[in-house]
A = this chain, B = another copy of it.
Amino acid sequence: MNTIKNVLIPVENGYDTLDVQIVDNAIAAISPGIDATKSAINGTNKLLLPGFINAHTHSSEMWQRGIMSGFPLELWLAELYDFAPLDIEKVYLSALGTAVETLLSGGTTVVDHLVLIPGKELETIATAVRAYKEVGIRAFVAPLIQDESLSAGIPSGESEQTHEPYFRSTQATLEIISEAVKQFHRPDEGIYIATAPTGIQLCSDALFTGCIELSEKYDLCRHSHLLETKAQEKLAQEKYGCSAVEHLKRIGYLSDRTSLAHCVHLTEADITILAETKSTVVHNPLSNLRLGSGIAPILKYRQAGVNVTFGCDGASSNDSQDLLEAIKIGSILHNVTDFDYQHWITPRQAIEMASLGGAKGLNMADELGSLTVGKKADLVMYDLTSLSLLPRTDPIGLLVLGRPTNVVDSVWVNGKQIVADGKVKTIDVDNLRQELFSHSQWQTTRKSQTVAQIEAHYRTVMGL
């Protein structure tokens, strides 16, 4: 049991100073003057918020952050895969790193669209699960699967393109997910497996429908990339003769437990479909800028009633896992897309998108995402005496619009305190730093052979 005394809590039109009691894994009480003879935690000059959801990332991309060329997604992916000789140890370390950066920027849940090592798929999943359990963060491990080879993700245009078959059958891939569910899907322990075809650009209908079946059988969330780039918009027309959203609706992938990363290039009709199916958009503003994918029409989504939340995306396209940065840029970026300031996202709205919006996308709005008695205690307490949050004005405004540094004082996940005094308690972060250091070396620009092979075709098809 923990009782946080005298902590600032947002209420309608302002803040109250209250006590918050955590019993077992839940918020047991929020009120003034809770008796806390032992295990009282001083909340003075601190702000308590529900934990945010890092609703889309790829943990192992941490190994290539800072080094990826300035390319659009399709070429960037080719470079990424050319230089991704992952091993299990690296999967473990980057999952730890992703969890730590997420926690220290206000996140209590991570959705890891996990790149699998070929031939070691279940071992990869087991390793990420182990890392997240050690840190204690709530984790949706969403194995990134496909059944078409990388070159199939680029539109053919006028040319005839043939693609190598993918090295693993659709059925074998679905069996991996099924086995992963049996071995690792443990909602009570804060570990969830989600179905997560990478997207229409690299997946057959058979893979999507197989995932739907698994989702229904085992009560799993569904995740996917969706219309991140113009190339994918073009590809969907080539492949289906309709938009990717229409196609996903037709085959039944969209639902109130489906979260879709990016959603940059959608039509008005597509937006209506997302609203009707209660699907969630995961906005990854920094990745969308870095890869030149475009500005997702987030204000339109909100006006249409589509649920929107934030993700960092993998650290090779961002190149950080700082949720507060994603929330800031994901809010203010849209002010240049609509001149009427009455439509702009306020800091309070941004916070709600990042917490309750994320919970909705994971079908957990009844259990997570707000400071509500009875909900799970996934909580973050911010130190408002950090220079970056001074002078004192509106705490949430400072947190969202500033550049908060060293502000996360404490984090609870499922009622357990895993960050205290700004330090992760569950793992040794200094040791993690040393491991990340020793497993890497300074590099400069590299040449990707695959990019050299496909760049000319890409430029032609995209009119460059």
Residues of A with Cβ closer than 8 Å to B? 8, 13-15, 62-68, 70-72, 75, 94, 97, 100-101, 230, 286, 288-295, 315, 318-320, 322, 325, 329, 332-333, 335-336, 338-341, 344-347, 385-395, 397-399, 401-403, 405-406, 429, 432-433, 436-437, 439-445, 462, 464
Contact = CB atoms under 8 A, between A and B. Distances in A.
Contact of A406 (B338, B385, B406): B406
A154 to B, nearest CB: 15
Given A295-B336, A336-B288, A339-B464, A440 B392 contact: yes
Given A66-B389, A100-B387, A290-B401, 18 more contacts: A14-B444, A63-B393, A65-B391, A65-B398, A66-B397, A66-B399, A66-B402, A288-B336, A292-B335, A292-B344, A294-B336, A318-B402, A320-B388, A320-B402, A329-B329, A385-B437, A390-B433, A393-B442
A332 B405 CA distance: 21
Contacts of A436: 387, 390-392
Counting chain B CB atoms within 10 Å of each CB, the highest count among A294, A329, A340, A392 belongs to: A392
B286 A390 contact: no
A44 to B, nearest CB: 12
Contact of A341 (B70, B390, B440): B70
A261 to B, nearest CB: 17
A392 B295 CA distance: 30
Nearest to A11: B444
A70 B444 contact: no
16 contacts: A64-B393, A66-B393, A66-B394, A66-B402, A67-B394, A94-B391, A292-B336, A293-B336, A318-B401, A319-B401, A320-B388, A322-B403, A385-B437, A391-B439, A394-B443, A394-B444
Contact of A394 (B286, B437, B439, B445): B445
Contacts of A318: 401-402
A6 to B, nearest CB: 13
Given A393-B443, A397-B67, A406-B405, A385 B341 contact: no
Contact of A344 (B70, B97, B286, B332): B70
Contacts of A390: 97, 433, 436-437, 440
Given A70-B341, A336-B289, A391 B464 contact: no
B391 A440 contact: yes
A190 B346 CA distance: 40
A387 B97 contact: yes
A440 B65 contact: no
A123 to B, nearest CB: 21
Counting chain B CB atoms within 10 Å of each CB, the highest count among A70, A97, A389 belongs to: A70
Contacts of A399: 66
A324 to B, nearest CB: 9
